[in-house]
Structure 1
Amino acid sequence: MMKQIEINAADGIATATIFRPDNGASAERGIIFYMDAMGPRQALYDMAQRLADSGYIVLLPDLFYRFGAYGPFDGTSFSDPTAREKIMTMLRGTTQEMTKRDGASFLDALTAAGATGTIGAVGYCMGGARALTAAAAYCDRITAAASFHGGNLASDAEDSPHRLAADIKGRVYIGVAGIDSSFPPEQSARLAEALRTGGVDHMIENYVGMAHGWTVSDHGVYDETGAERHWKRLLNLFEEALA
């Protein structure tokens, strides 16, 4: 069951969608679902609903709200030069710091929707880094965070999430595409060191044979077997850490 809402976010009104279990079951645990670079769409709605049906209230906000109307895009849009340029412009213009500031209003929206229990975060592609950043910035609220084919999780940038590892108090899971230029082996090693040094309960898992975007059904590289494996890991993480 989904419902469109508007959130008074850091820099304006952000559209978002709240998902609840389709069977009408009550839920108190909440999850922020950080989108990939193509924005909210049916493929992500289906994923958020599946997560909600496991017993959660899920919030899927539009991180590109500062740009007004755009798209629609999907997992194939990167192959179109015009769409790719627009997506990259919005991606570069939506900094980690912006998303960090938005986190307070996202958490408030979850609370208003009835998520008065524990909170988790999950992100895909660009959202993976946002989930980790949120876990550090709101460590008193977010008790588990997951990233799947997240890019630049441990880059040289000043706002790279690995620099915040010591602030994360919850459990972390990182699902890595087997070959991913946005998160090469050297970044994986750097992130692992930062998480371990920071005392974070974490797991970094390499999905051999999977490409960047393998979990999302409208990507050309979608892999059903790999996606189901990702669901098993994600649901297990939240079931244990948000209990």
Structure 2
Amino acid sequence: MYAPERHQQILTRARSEGRVDVTALAGELDVTPETIRRDLTALERHGLVRRVHGGAIPVERLGFEPGLADREGLLSGEKERIAKAALDELPDGGAVILDAGTTTVRLAELLPTDRELTVVTHALPVATVLATRPGTTLHLVGGTVRGRTLAAVGSWALRDLAEIHVDVAFLGANGITADHGVTTPDLAEAAVKRALVTASRRTVVLADHTKVGRVDLARVADLADVDTLITDAAVEPELADEIEAAGTRVVRA
């Protein structure tokens, strides 16, 4: 069994049972405990588990939401491919929304300069990238800034978003499943994300494979509200098939 296959089995077990034990995994997967410890270290480095004595716990069981700085270097290749695939969803001109998140920041960096685009965002990192971008008219939504994501939330943000309508919203997500739709850990940020969906004609979710099949605390939108999910090639086929069966197009970048 290759390491990526082991990692997926370990992560699946951790999420279904709430924790995993080094000794038990070594016996079941027929590898040494040292190999399992290296696997857990790799999963922790990707922000998927937290090591505890004798094993590990999935981050969602800890109510843990990684900060922006912690997420910037994770799965950078996958996020690059997702962002490049998202360029195909841009209108020739018009207006788009960019949600908060490391993948949407990458998309902001890749936005073409050969067309006129109006971009609305409540994310300070996205605004910083686009503030001086040729051909881009930037509208920054105000509100209370969450330190963990550097995104504006609260009544000011909701009021601003209620007054606009755009062609496409590029939405980040901490979790997406066929049954529970799009979810995120924070209630205030979930409310803003719902407003982004309401304000757009089409919604495109950008989420790497670790988010697919995961459910977080706060519901953002049902899959019926999501036109396209762009993820990476490592997504579990059965999870992607379930989402497509629900009517959302899945792009594997």
Alignment TM class, shorter chain as reference = 0.3 to 0.5
Answer with 1 or 2: which has the greater Rg. Answer: 2
- Which structure's relative contact order is higher, taking Cα pairs within 8 Å and 6+ residues apart? 1
When normalised by structure 2's length, the TM-score is: 0.36
Using structure 1 for the length normalisation, give the TM-score.
Answer: 0.37
